[in-house]
Amino acid sequence: MNIIQTEAARLVQRVMEGGNLDQALQASLREHPQYTPQQRGALQDLSYGTVRYFGRLQFFLECLLLRAVRDPLLGYLMLVALYQLEYSKSMAHVIVDQAVRAAKRRNAATGTLVNAVLRNFQRRQVELRREADADPATRYAYPRWWISQLRAHYGEKTDAVLEAGNQHPPMTLRVNARRCSAATYQQMLARENMAAILVDPDALILTQPVPVDRLPKFAEGWVSVQDAGAQYAAHLLGAAAGMRVLDACAAPGGKSAHLLERADIELVAVDKDELRLQRVRQNLQRGELKAELICGDAANPQSWWDGKPFQRILADVPCSASGVVRRHPDIKWLRRPADIEGFARQQAQILEALWPLLAADGKLLYATCSVFARENGQVIAQFLQMHPEAEAEEINLPCVVGQAGQLLPNEVQDGFFYALLRKKF
């Protein structure tokens, strides 16, 4: 296990140096094909868990160290061990012993320090928890600027948003309506001893996550993995049979597939990344769905648009992904305040570029997986001020009072924002 601790520490270090955790983990697993399924699962838990609670764990370590360690990896190794002591069910003496062994494998002289730090944490754990809880940044393990932006907009709801972002995400399924209903698929799962809960908007949440190849008829396209909040997009857009529909930022293709599952539409799916567009193609092929796929930039439609208007447009624009941090905890530490303003400018540019492609009386659904108002309501408000021919339609979703369309992360869904705009003339 000490080998896995060390590898997890390397992954955490890569993230804190600016790397993507998903990519780092997959690269590590490719480099170590000898890892058992148990080791692979442990590596994911230790790396994701340490990154998720990094701010809190770093506070603990700084309180326990008399001076900074010279070897950065040793510091990350202790953070991984602190995560295990604070959040795992493993026996404390085993965690400490493994961490000491891992440190000695790297430098024999560091074992004493690691042992002293971790033993001291065990003695002071209650005291350190109390001190960490006194500051929201270390209580919830988020950057201060992130908390400040949420507090300014959501007030007393902020704590619940922060807590939800630290929970393990549910495994949620979207049933292909062309194959069967969600209720019917729920019965199919039950026959395989898999329990699932039906939630809005016709999504199934598994009570126990399983590998996708265990899902009945997954390979045949009967079901896909998609968060319940993301499934609202196809419902809100309301594309009907015969309509020409644009999915302007289509990768990885979940929303494209959902639109095609719901109605016989003429779908054009655009993404500027050819590799990511391959994922759209694979998702559609699995469900035996057809669309025109174009590699192009949503902010520059003149380079790919054929001039034929669309009755519906889905603009699932690039964003901070602040609403999905429970799935991607590295986002908390990789984002900077300036990034939010940059995303907002990009979003406004895409919205302006796509609007001329919409037919009169057509509808455009603006979507993000963000909980920051600067990327959501403020972008829409600015657009509406400049476009008298645009009106925002009411969105009836479980949302924050005062900003219709804002879904906050909770036990059922990730955080999303939707705005449905109709072109009056």
Which residues are known to be catalytic? Answer: 369
CB 194 within 8 A of CB 173: no
CB 422 within 8 A of CB 362: yes
CA atoms within 13 A on the CB side of 384: 15
Token reading at 387:
């476009």
Token pair 């062309």 is found at 178
CB 396 within 8 A of CB 423: no
Residues 6+ apart with CB under 8 A from 33: none
Describe the crossing of helices 337-354 and 377-386 by its angle, rounded to 10 degrees.
40
Cis bond upstream, residue 170 (ω within 30)? no
